[in-house]
A and B are shown apart, each in its own frame.
Chain A
Amino acid sequence: MQAFDVVAALLVVLAVVAFAVGNSALARAEDIHAVYWLVVGVVSMRAAVQLARPGAA
């Protein structure tokens, strides 16, 4: 396992935390906070997948 794989796994954990915080904010009707944390989750997830996926290009 390379260091990049560890970073990818950590980014997934960050995304999960962001999704949980975002969902919790959504439940409390704090929509701005919810959108912010959900965006953080999506971007973290995207970064993790880009780091981990195979292929040269």
Chain B
Amino acid sequence: MARGLLERLGDLGTAAQATIPGFYAWAVTVAPAAWSRGAPLLAKVIACMGLASLVAAIVLERRWPRYARPVSVWGLVSTSALVWALAPAALLPSRIDAARGVAGMIGWGLFALASAAPALPRDAEPARIVDGAPLRPRSKIPRGDAWFIGAGTLMAVGLQTVGWSVVVPERALLVRLVALASGLAVIGAATQIALGRHSRRVRPTRRVRARRSLPAFVGLCVVAAIGLVLFLAGR
């Protein structure tokens, strides 16, 4: 019988599941730094040790599963940090293009997800599986929420693509910080709007909603007026 991908993933251990995204993150962000022009030999050796820690974690998982995840996570993270410290020139914004930066973020995010929340293994006692859910969910996730949150997440990811060509490191850091904060605010607002559509609590009337949002709208009008005045003054 053909088994599902998630079911087969569940058979793999935590470290094994994290190996592929870990290797991807290493290939996109660590290897280019270690093998960049001017990087010392030590950086290459340490980069290879990071890769070896991923493989070692798979081997350890069979006999000492307790130590597999720390070896995988801390091995790769600490060796990567050392490589970046030994070859700082490779991290200059002028030498990292936006596509590789985003690919690296996704790689490290997937590695963190696979390490922290791996697919669960199959139940060893199939006899315990009963027909029908023994517990009823208290509520269902309303339709449409995923679209709101997905759209918010997409917009937040889109914000991360702005400002990758800054040369000055301090300003580049500030831009990344502001982009990250903006993205988190967008996801938070999208979630609140999604949940607010069908809250079980008292739904406010239109008048209450208008009155409550009035200060923010006045602020928006003031900001728009300031912008218009500055625009006209600049012409």
- Chain B contact surface mostly: helix
| B5 adjacent to chain A (CB < 8 Å) | no
Closest to B162 in A: A23
| B232 adjacent to chain A (CB < 8 Å) | no
CB 8 Å contact bits of B175-198 with A (1 = contact, 0 = none): 100110010011001101101110
Q: How large is the interface on A (under 10, 10 to 19, 20 to 34, 35 or more residues)?
A: 35 or more
Binding site for B on A (CB under 8 A): 1-2, 4-5, 8-9, 12-13, 15-16, 19-20, 22-24, 26-27, 29, 36, 38-57
Which residue of A12, A44, A54 is within 8 Å of B204 (Cβ)?
Answer: A54
Chain B contact residue count (CB 8 A cutoff):
45
| B129 adjacent to chain A (CB < 8 Å) | no
Closest to A23 in B: B162
Closest to B217 in A: A47
CB distance from B27 to the nearest CB of A (A): 27
| B220 adjacent to chain A (CB < 8 Å) | yes
